[in-house]
């Protein structure tokens, strides 16, 4: 299949008339059952008509994703939620008011309109209204319901720039919309509203403190930062070893100086053994590290910058054929919870805790 790649980059959040026409065309491809990758504020999505079972099946095929892993339906107006859910609880209205459009996905009981192909066989449906001008217009022109997982091959880090969408999807889908670099860099927060109190299934830019402020009590899936609970994650997609780079990734925890010293010693031994070593570090200690490929995420205090760069760095290590990666560990509260959740998954939970081995 030939994939058409078009560039639609909004200026100051505004699209030109020509760009609107291109999105209208891309929307018609979705209506005809085709697949279109597009930018959102979190990561790039791989879109298909959410109400068309054949489109959802094509999405799974293009990603190489197990079909029991449900898709998120993207909408562009709150009222579009009504036809696809059984009922709209008060909490849904509250969090939509507070966080939509934005990086927040809610789980609700699905209506008959939503095919099981889209929900991976579940009776519930995940819904999100993205805050990105290209996504919003594309959804509006598609008929209003776009199923979109992240636009990566299953198992790879989610793409934050079109380059990596093209790498994974060229030849497999109809259209790729290059909208430039995304703003956030990690997937949306998922909150399950079918249980009481609501439960966070995947942490993201909308933190548990932000949700607690709006909803009162909120719980978090125990598996978010741990893999020793003996429980399966409630979001089916979170059970897979996602976001994985090709090199072996190890997270090192401890005082910053001890971490740098440990990583440098390991790196030296690895390089002698013929490994190509990459390091993810913060600006504070960047000068201390000796690695083949050093990626600095910015200041330890700037969590938004860490979130934005993480997936790109993991992809770049693959590009540079790095075989061993060490990463500093980050704080686990606020946005740090989402960062560490993804990093731990990328590492398959391989963590060296210097405070406990020395």
What does the binding site for ligand TXA look like in residue numbers (CB under 6 A)? 40, 42-43, 45, 69-72, 103, 105, 107, 119, 122, 124-126, 128, 130, 148-150, 187-188, 190, 201, 235-238
> Which residues is 150 bridged to in the sheet?
45
Pick the closer one to Mg ion by CB: 19 or 158: 158
Supply the minimum distance, in Å, between the C-beta of residue 198 and ligand TXA.
13
Closest chain position to Mg ion (CB): 150
We find the least distance from the C-beta atom of residue 47 to ligand TXA, in angstroms, to be 8
Nearest distance, CB of residue 280 and ligand TXA, angstroms: 21
| Least distance in angstroms from the C-beta of 326 to ligand TXA | 26
Q: What is the DSSP letter of 188?
A: P
Site string for Mg ion, 143-162 (x = CB under 5 A): -------x------------
Instruction: Provide the minimum distance between the beta carbon of 159 and Mg ion in the complex, in angstroms, as a whole number.
Output: 10
Q: Using alpha carbons only, what angle is made at residue 145 by residues 140 and 147, rounded to the nearest 5 degrees?
A: 125
CA distance 286 to 289: 6
Which residues is 279 bridged to in the sheet?
A: 294, 326
Strands 324-328, 104-109: parallel, antiparallel or unpaired by DSSP?
unpaired
What does 119 bind: ligand TXA, Mg ion, none (CB cut-off 5 to 8 Å by kind)? ligand TXA
| Nearest distance from C-beta of residue 175 to ligand TXA, angstroms | 15
Q: Which is nearer to ligand TXA, 110 or 300 (CB)?
A: 110
Closest CA to 118 of 158, 148, 142: 148
Tokens 């109809």, residue?
174
| 53: partner contacted, choices Mg ion, ligand TXA, none (Cβ within 5-8 A by kind) | none
3-state DSSP call for residue 194? coil
Least CB distance to ligand TXA at residue 69 (A): 5
Question: Considering the rule CB under 5 A, would residue 105 count as an interface residue with Mg ion?
Answer: no
Count of residues in contact with Mg ion, rule CB under 5 A: 1
Helix (H, G, I), strand (E, B), or coil: what is residue 216? coil
Residue 40's binding partner among ligand TXA, Mg ion, none (Cβ under 5 to 8 angstroms by kind) is ligand TXA
For Mg ion, the closer CB: 146 or 215:
146
Q: Which is nearer to ligand TXA, 244 or 285 (CB)?
A: 244
Q: Which residue is nearest to ligand TXA (CB)?
A: 237
- CA-wise closest residue to 142 among 89, 90, 205, 76: 76
Residue 75 or residue 201: which is nearer to ligand TXA going by CB? 201
Name beta bridge partners: 327.
251, 280
Please enumerate in sequence order all residues whose Cβ is within 8 A of that of 262, keeping only pairs 6 or more positions apart, or say none: 252, 254, 352, 354
Task: Measure the N-to-C terminal CA separation of the chain; round to a whole number of Å.
Answer: 56
- 351, two tokens: 């963590």
- The partner in contact with residue 198, picked from Mg ion, ligand TXA, none with C-beta cut-offs of 5 to 8 angstroms by kind, is none
238 binds, among ligand TXA, Mg ion, none (CB under 5 to 8 A by kind): ligand TXA
- Taking the complex as a whole, the smallest distance from the CB of residue 111 to ligand TXA amounts, in Å, to 13
Q: How far is the CB of 5 from ligand TXA (least distance, A)?
A: 18
DSSP, res 2: P
141/324 with CB nearer ligand TXA: 141
Residues comprising the chain, all counted: 358
Nearer to ligand TXA, 188 or 329 (CB): 188
SS3 state of residue 25: helix
Give yes or no for a cis peptide into 197 (omega within 30° of 0).
Answer: yes
Q: Please report the DSSP string for 131-148 in residue order.
A: --HHHHHHHHHHTS-EE-
**What phi-psi label fits residue 154: left (phi over 0), alpha (psi between -120 and 50 degrees) or beta?**
beta
Q: Which is nearer to ligand TXA, 129 or 285 (CB)?
A: 129
| Pair 188, 99: CB distance under 8 Å | no
- For Mg ion, the binding residues (CB under 5 A) are 150
């Amino acid at each position: 299949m030939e994939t058409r790649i078009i560039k639609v980059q909004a200026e100051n959040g505004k699209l030109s008339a020509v760009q609107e026409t291109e999105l209208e065309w891309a929307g018609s491809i979705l209506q005809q059952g085709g697949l279109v990758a597009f930018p959102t504020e979190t990561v790039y999505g791989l879109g298909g008509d959410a109400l068309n079972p054949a489109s959802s099946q094509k999405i799974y095929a293009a990603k190489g994703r197990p079909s029991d892993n449900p898709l998120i339906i993207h909408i562009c107006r709150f009222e579009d939620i009504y036809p696809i859910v059984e009922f709209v609880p008060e909490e849904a209205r509250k969090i939509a008011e507070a966080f939509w459009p934005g990086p927040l996905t809610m789980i609700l009981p699905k209506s008959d309109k939503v095919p099981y192909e889209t929900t991976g066989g579940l009776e519930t449906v995940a819904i999100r209204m993205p805050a990105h001008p290209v996504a919003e217009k594309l959804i509006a022109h598609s008929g209003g319901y776009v199923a979109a997982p992240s636009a990566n091959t299953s198992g790879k880090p989610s793409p934050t720039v079109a380059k990596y969408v093209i790498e994974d999807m060229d030849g497999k889908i109809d259209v790729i919309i290059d909208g430039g670099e995304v703003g956030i860099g990690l997937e949306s927060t998922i909150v399950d509203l079918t249980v009481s109190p609501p439960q966070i299934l995947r942490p993201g830019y909308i933190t548990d403190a932000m949700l607690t402020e709006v909803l009162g009590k909120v719980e978090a899936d125990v598996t978010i930062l741990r893999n020793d609970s003996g429980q399966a994650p409630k979001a089916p997609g979170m059970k897979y070893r996602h976001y994985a780079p090709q090199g072996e990734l190890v997270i090192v925890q401890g005082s910053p100086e001890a971490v740098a010293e440990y990583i440098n010693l390991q790196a030296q031994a690895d390089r002698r053994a013929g490994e190509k070593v990459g390091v993810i570090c913060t600006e504070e200690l960047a000068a201390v590290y000796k690695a083949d490929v050093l990626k600095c995420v910015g200041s330890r205090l700037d969590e938004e910058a860490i979130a934005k760069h993480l997936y790109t760095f993991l992809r770049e290590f693959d590009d540079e054929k790095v075989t061993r990666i060490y990463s500093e560990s980050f704080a686990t509260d606020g946005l740090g919870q989402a960062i560490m959740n993804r990093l731990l998954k990328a590492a398959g939970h391989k963590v060296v805790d210097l405070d406990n081995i020395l």
